[in-house]
Amino acid sequence: MQKDNFSYLLVALLIFIIGVPITFDLDLISLQVSRILGITCLLAVGVWSLQGTKQLFFAGMVVAIAGVILNILSVTREDDTLHIFSLVAMFVFLLLASISALRQVAVGNDISPNRIIGAICIYLLLGVIWSIAYSVTEHWQPGSFHGLTEQVSATWNRDWVYYSFVTLTTLGYGDITPVSQTARSLSLIEAVVGQFYIAVLVAGLVSAYISDRQGRSDSD
């Protein structure tokens, strides 16, 4: 595994979560272009984080290419079915990226920059994965959420990423609220997972740091 492989994924996630919405607010790009740019960047750049694991890399490459093509076609043809398939491809890719990150972050006692970046990526991946789940839920059950700034159920809504991370961090601003039982269940699970991940991550990093220091002391 490359020593800086998660840096690519982190850059892609930050562009998707922060960069693209800012460019949209500055009227530099349209909603359709922002959707293509955000998803394409996340899939195309993020796939390099899978390097070093051949099976995951080739699987991620196939899924990423399929996701980019489906995303572009769904926007140009305004086809809701293609959009859902593009989200499914993105969901699968994010799962592969999460597996790759967990394999490296959860194993070993050393504290390396790449391992810390991988841990951060996993947390961000959780937020993006749940945002896709919310989008699909709203598509299948319109009206599952109240307070969306863009009342569209079949296309990507930038509110999903915002709501997902507000829930993941348990901020709970209350401007967007889950209405259906499915939406509430997803929100509840995300909040619990987010808190447990932070607790386990901190405990794991501290334990690895102590083990690393003890190993160095014994070698001296």
Query: Along the 220 residues of the chain, how does pLDDT read in single tens digits?
Result: 455 678 888 888 888 888 888 887 887 777 777 777 778 888 877 777 776 667 777 888 888 888 889 888 887 887 778 888 888 888 998 888 888 788 777 766 667 777 788 888 899 999 999 999 998 888 888 889 988 876 554 456 778 999 999 999 988 888 899 999 999 999 999 999 999 988 887 777 777 667 766 666 656 5
Other Cβ atoms closer than 10 A to 70: 22
Structural domains of the chain sorted by starting position, each given as residue range(s) with its CATH number in brackets: 5-219 (1.10.287.70)
- Would you give the DSSP letter of residue 61? H
Q: Would you say 145 and 183 are in contact if contact means Cβ atoms under 8 Å apart?
A: yes
Residue with tokens 């349209």: 30
- Pair of tokens at residue 31: 């909603």
Q: Would you say 17 and 124 are in contact if contact means Cβ atoms under 8 Å apart?
A: yes
- The predicted pLDDT at position 154 comes to 47
What is the rounded distance in angstroms from the CA atom of residue 62 to the CA atom of residue 112? 30
- The predicted pLDDT at position 1 comes to 45
pLDDT tens figures, 86-110: 888 889 988 888 887 887 777 666 6
- The predicted pLDDT at position 166 comes to 94
Q: Locate all alpha helices (DSSP H) within the chain, ordered by sequence.
A: 5-14, 20-25, 31-46, 54-77, 80-105, 113-140, 159-168, 181-219
Q: Would you say 82 and 155 are in contact if contact means Cβ atoms under 8 Å apart?
A: no
Angle of helix 5-14 relative to helix 80-105, nearest 10 degrees, comes to 140
Task: Return the half-sphere exposure (C-beta side, CA atoms, 13 A cut-off) of residue 186.
Answer: 25
- The predicted pLDDT at position 199 comes to 84
